[in-house]
A and B are shown apart, each in its own frame.
Chain A
Amino acid sequence: MLRLANPLVVIWAILLVLLSATIAASFVLSGPVGLVVSLSIAAIKSAMIYWRYMHLNEETPLNRIAALAAGLWLLILLGFLGVDYWTRALV
């Protein structure tokens, strides 16, 4: 049956499964582990949306970089904010 289903619908089904997973995980996990898991699931969902729904699978490597560079760049801000907040109390 999966062979006949539209891949876009299959992706949708997986996205809903991942949504259930993240809700379920929130009952069981907490703290940093919980955060890592929920953000990872969100990242996987986004990757699927980008890959299939946003056509990255059909695009040139250059366009893939164009699509994803900002997400990576955000990590710089997050990273150094983290460094400041985590180490402020140390000095």
Chain B
Amino acid sequence: MSDARPVTDPFTDPLQQHRAAMMGMYVFLGSEIMLFGGLFCVAAAVRLAHAPEIVHASRALHFGIGGLNTAILLTSSLFVALGVESANGGRAKITSRWLVGAAALGLAFLMMKAYEYRMEFTEGLLPIEGVHSRYADDVQHLFMNLYLIATGLHAVHLSIGILLLIALSFRLAFGSIKLPERAIVLVTAGLYWHLVDVIWVFLYPVFYLAR
């Protein structure tokens, strides 16, 4: 079975290059895990120090919206996975559609998040400078700050992912990415998207479901 994948310098073998690309992406995602990991450690420290107040603050969040958002993101991951599968099968147009679908779900996530932030703002929970807030205690203020940073950083990464998927789907639609030879591009982009999903899979219970 001949390997139609191209080989570029400094590699000499397509399998070698494929493994290197995957390893490179996995390692990069590892660094992202350490980045968010720092935030999770802060959350853990705060919860250890003030468990009852944290539980109370967590209850004030809208777990239903958060849960819906989780489902949206999981579905977008499915779309990306299906897109990668069709990329490996050489079907550029179909891949493009799956990616657009995933990007659309990502946008839906962001819109839900914006709606959620707005609700929290009207409830006096969102820490905006100069605006009077209604916190039960200082720890709730701390919790909401952390929640904002964590979800905000996640949203930044999600936005990058959305732009990436849209850019790739355009390139696929115009035929600039030859499939299945260059499917690795979709595979590695997909890995990034899935990590953003994994991060949310942990963010959700840590912030919304602390009981």
- Residue positions of A touching B, CB distance < 8 A: 6, 8-9, 11-12, 15-16, 19, 22-23, 25-26, 29-31, 34-35, 38-39, 41-42, 45-46, 49-50, 52-55, 59-60, 62-63, 66-67, 69-71, 73-74, 77-78, 81-82, 85-86
Contact check, A85 vs B48: say whether CB atoms are below 8 A apart.
Answer: yes
With A35-B210, A67-B30 already in contact, the answer to whether A9 and B78 are too (CB < 8 A) is yes
Contact check, B198 vs A50: say whether CB atoms are below 8 A apart.
Answer: yes
**Interchain CB contact (< 8 A) of A67 among B29, B48, B55, B82:** B29
**Interchain CB contact (< 8 A) of B201 among A45, A67, A74:** A45
Q: Which residues from A are CB-within-8-Å of B55?
A: 30
Number of A-B contacts (CB under 8 A): 120
- Residue positions of B touching A, CB distance < 8 A: 19, 22-23, 26-27, 29-31, 33-34, 37-38, 40-41, 44-45, 48-49, 55, 63, 67, 70-71, 74-75, 77-78, 80-82, 85, 187, 190-191, 194-195, 197-198, 201-202, 204-206, 209-211
Q: How long is the Cα–Cα vector from A54 to B25 in the complex, in angstroms?
A: 11
Contact check, A73 vs B201: say whether CB atoms are below 8 A apart.
Answer: no
Closest to B64 in A: A23
